[in-house]
Amino acid sequence: MAPKLLLNGRITLGLFCSVLALSTAHAQTIQPYTKDRKPARASAQATNTASKGVQASSANVEQIMATAKRSRSEQSVNHTQLQRLLPGINPLKALEILPGVVFENADPWGNNEQNSSLYIHGFNQNQLGFTLDGVPLGDQSYGNYNGLSPQRAALSENIGSASVATGSGALGTASTSNLGGSLEFTTQDPLHKAGGQLSQTFGSWSTFRTFARVDTGDFGNGNSAYFSWARQDARAWDFAGHQGGNQVNAKFVHQGSKDKVTAFFDWSDKVEPNEDGVVEPMGGSLYVRPFMYPNLNEAVNYYNSSAYKNAGLNYRNYYSDAQREDFLAYVKWSHTFNSHLRWDNQIYYHHDLGEGVVAGPISAAGLPTLFSAYFPSYSSGQLSDVFGGSGMATRTTEYWDNRGGLMSTLHYDVGHHHIELGGWYERNNNTQARRWYAFDINSPTTPYDRQSNPLIHQYTNYFYTNTWTTHLQDSWQITKNFNLNAGFKSELVYTNGILPVAGLPGSLSPASAQTIPGGRIATVKPFLPSFGALWNITPHEQWFANIQENMRSFQDTGYGNASPWGMTSQSAFELFKKEGKPETAWTYETGFRTNRHLNAGPLTNISGQIEYYHVHFSNRLLAVSSTPTIASIVGSATVLTNVGSVSTDGMDFSFTAQFGRHFSFYNALSYNKSVYNDNYMSGTTLVSTAGKNVVGIPNWTEKFVASTNWGNFYAQFIGDVIGKRYTTYTNDLSVKSYALFSINAGYTIRGIPHVQGLKVQGNITNLTGTRGWSTLSTSYASGQYSAFPIAPRMFFLTIGASF
């Protein structure tokens, strides 16, 4: 069941009114204990008595967006709004309508992980924290090593809410990557009444998504459960690849008088054929760079043509894809000893078997050098025969990830204090391997095949990581309207990275590079403090402030990555182990919230928040290419370099205006200025980045949602404006701003026998057919970058019934 959202104020919102109503979803403000009630809980069920003067006036109000009443800025999107934005949407993409959040993806659902990017208050997705029902989801790296994406962890239709703390996450967040904010996704609990849900989405480019769920309802002793399944298949809009797969979720809840036990299971098996980004500025008028599968003859002829040679870095591969199979499960037990003390415990396990695949020409940049190291006596013509006579080879990066852990937290109320003490332990055994396979002209593989029998086992990395974190926090309700909280987090991460299979001498780029034996490195920070304050100035206005330090542990990945184990000499590794420092950040945020019922003609309610934040990010680590002017499919060797600090200042301003029962308008305007403070060296070359804007982050963003609701009918018009973004560290290249618009509308038919409701919904994404660049990536100091296109206008129709 979606968390109950407790509003701060007498708000009369229609069914689709507020896209940012100020509420206490996931309220964390702690109240003093009194004998006539249980202690406050840091959960969606808590009632915020510090804001009790502003509560929902009607049980019939449905809230679409919520702002938590915490000492930090946190906002949520609920289940209903998730599905109205687009059925089956990645919950990360749903958060892009919130202030301070910049999410980019080249498909309308936001599901393709290769071309996905996220920025929040100056930090990218690898520097944020992600959890599902408290279970850590890792740092969202495309090269999987410590987690999985939210859309693989749970079905979109089962997500109860998606929340983002844009400044700093809670101390108890199970993450060692959240330099900045944290994102929490919660799954719905089973319904108390037996029933079912069935929906079918049709749309552009052969979209076909089926979702089915069965709820048992309460079946005695406080037990309930559901089982759900979804299958999605959609052709990519610019090439002949079908993206999607199958996913299963099951959840069980036992609710007793003092105990709640929850068990959850997720299985996800998906394949995402990918396109390559266009390398600019040499792309010219090129907008897409699709693969050629299934036209094998076209590919063979292309690799022998002048078009291939003239394309340079923008040559086309035959296909590429990401294959991921995940199993995720957890059991959670919460026991209430009395009205003062509660104990929460959770154990989880995640297994991932993944593979990233590229099938392309054996003559691509860097490959002749690689293959000559493994087949030194073969000519180029003979190499083609070795690889199956097609002139192509298949490269894989293969992932195995087995991780499990447990969390335990005590909540204790004494006097005017709420004390929270918790810990988290995780063991992660992670393997990454690079292998090369033949591509047989007589028996060609497809993007949907798993590879077998490699010709070249280039390298393999094994990582064994033990993570220990603890946190202690006291929230002190000094007066009825003023709350202070203070605490700290300890973060201890120990990784042993070894290399059982090393690349042959001369097989990497440059030829002098090598994959190293590795060793043990600890990332330790025993005291990461946090301070916050919350003041209810009036029953309608609130001031908040928060200061927090965070640390990001070193990534346990190998060659070519921003990791100590990606060094190309053992001596460099040992030197970094001795002198290297992890990334840290201090975040300062303060803001003002208001929420007032009005009688100003058509305007009946106004709610809003304004926030200022400052971040000082120290010891920024960058994988500096040792051959910055050479691009290679092999991947250039990198040197993990401390390139100094980053300063960020920004403001978020958002409001929702309600016009009677039927109309509302939400608007969010954000300003962010993130700059590099230092220059750095790339080999013997000084790269002048001091004072330059951080790449990929727009200075300005503007979002709005206009909503209307008339009983069983609803509609929304949504806009998202992204400002100019720099694409190189030296800011010599940039991409222009763009504006995307979308609409959705639906109607629920009542009165059908044995059917609670039959819902019909239509969506149009990229309403105006805007062309531009979505996700950007660069590994160069200047001169070039790569970019993925914005998906074109698409149409979707969803028919769903609940029983």
Which phi and psi angles does 50 have, rounded to 5°?
Answer: -65, -20
Gap between the Cα atoms of 168 and 611, Å rounded: 13
pLDDT in tens, 34-82: 333 333 333 333 333 333 333 333 333 345 568 888 899 999 999 999 9
Gap between the Cα atoms of 81 and 744, Å rounded: 11
Q: In sequence order, what are the residues at sequence separation of 6 or more whose Cβ sits closer than 8 angstroms to the Cβ of residue 422? A: 172, 344, 407, 408, 409, 410, 470, 471
Question: With 0-12 CB in 10 A as exposed, 13-18 as middle and 19+ as buried, what is 572?
Answer: middle
Q: Residue with structure tokens 């083609």?
A: 384
Rounded to the nearest integer, the mean pLDDT of the chain is: 89
Per the CB < 8 A criterion, the answer to whether 454 and 435 are in contact is yes
Gap between the Cα atoms of 126 and 623, Å rounded: 14
**β-strands 129-132, 182-187 pairing:** parallel
Question: With 0-12 CB in 10 A as exposed, 13-18 as middle and 19+ as buried, what is 317?
Answer: buried
**49: closest CA among 76, 29, 26, 66?**
29
* Side-chain half-sphere exposure of 396, counting CA atoms within 13 A: 28
What tokens appear for 412 in the block? 């204790």
* Side-chain half-sphere exposure of 150, counting CA atoms within 13 A: 32
What tokens appear for 141 in the block? 């790296």
Q: Is pLDDT at 254 greater than 60 in this prediction?
A: yes
> Once rounded to an integer, what is the mean pLDDT over residues 654-658?
94
Domains contained in the chain, CATH given: 212-745+762-789 (2.40.170.20)
Burial 218-238 (b: 16+ CB within 10 A, else e): beeeebbbbbbbbebebbbbb
**200: closest CA among 175, 162, 232?**
232
Tell me what pLDDT residue 560 has: 79
The number of helices, as runs of H, and strands, as runs of E, in the chain is: 8, 40
> Once rounded to an integer, what is the mean pLDDT over residues 302-322?
95
Q: Is pLDDT at 627 greater than 70 in this prediction?
A: no
**478: closest CA among 529, 535, 440?**
535
What tokens appear for 221 in the block? 């002793």
> Once rounded to an integer, what is the mean pLDDT over residues 698-709?
97
> Can you tell me whether residue 576 is helix, strand or coil?
helix
Gap between the Cα atoms of 743 and 162, Å rounded: 21
> Once rounded to an integer, what is the mean pLDDT over residues 388-392?
94
**528: closest CA among 491, 578, 486, 558?**
491
Gap between the Cα atoms of 523 and 542, Å rounded: 38
**554: closest CA among 583, 575, 531, 592?**
583
pLDDT > 70: percent of the chain: 90
pLDDT in tens, 413-471: 999 999 999 999 999 999 999 999 999 999 999 999 999 999 999 999 999 999 999 99
Q: Is pLDDT at 84 greater than 80 in this prediction?
A: yes
Longest alpha-carbon distance in the chain: 86
Q: Is pLDDT at 140 greater than 70 in this prediction?
A: yes
Query: Which of 372-376, 568-572, 612-616 is most confident?
Result: 612-616
Question: With 0-12 CB in 10 A as exposed, 13-18 as middle and 19+ as buried, what is 387?
Answer: buried
* Side-chain half-sphere exposure of 369, counting CA atoms within 13 A: 17
Per the CB < 8 A criterion, the answer to whether 226 and 250 are in contact is yes
Gap between the Cα atoms of 243 and 240, Å rounded: 10
Gap between the Cα atoms of 569 and 639, Å rounded: 10
pLDDT category, 623, cuts 50, 70, 90? confident
* Side-chain half-sphere exposure of 784, counting CA atoms within 13 A: 16
Amino acid making up residue 292: M
Q: Is pLDDT at 28 greater than 90 in this prediction?
A: no
What tokens appear for 421 in the block? 């003490």
- The DSSP output letter for 441 is T
Per the CB < 8 A criterion, the answer to whether 269 and 297 are in contact is no
Q: Please report the DSSP string for 448-486 in residue order.
A: TPPP-S-SEEEEEEEEEEEEEEEEEEEEEE-SSSEEEEE
Tell me what pLDDT residue 126 has: 95
Q: Is pLDDT at 631 greater than 50 in this prediction?
A: no
Q: Which of 149-158, 354-363, 371-380, 577-586 has the lowest mean pLDDT?
A: 371-380
**782: closest CA among 114, 280, 313?**
280
**β-strands 700-710, 713-722 pairing:** antiparallel
> Once rounded to an integer, what is the mean pLDDT over residues 217-226?
96
Q: Is pLDDT at 14 greater than 70 in this prediction?
A: no
The reply to whether omega before 510 is within 30° of 0 (cis) is: yes
Q: Order across the sheet with 785-789: list the strands.
A: 278-280, 785-789, 773-777
pLDDT in tens, 494-552: 999 999 999 898 888 777 788 889 999 999 999 999 999 999 999 999 999 999 999 99
Which neighbouring-strand residues pair with 675?
Answer: 647, 693
pLDDT in tens, 678-691: 999 887 889 999 99
Gap between the Cα atoms of 451 and 461, Å rounded: 19
* Alpha-carbon separation of residue 121 from 194, 230, 731 (angstroms): 43, 34, 19
Q: Is pLDDT at 666 greater than 50 in this prediction?
A: yes
* Alpha-carbon separation of residue 413 from 33, 328, 332, 488 (angstroms): 6, 33, 22, 18
> Can you tell me whether residue 669 is helix, strand or coil?
strand
Gap between the Cα atoms of 362 and 343, Å rounded: 58
Q: Which of 7-16, 158-167, 596-605, 675-684 has the lowest mean pLDDT?
A: 7-16
Which neighbouring-strand residues pair with 245?
Answer: 232, 270
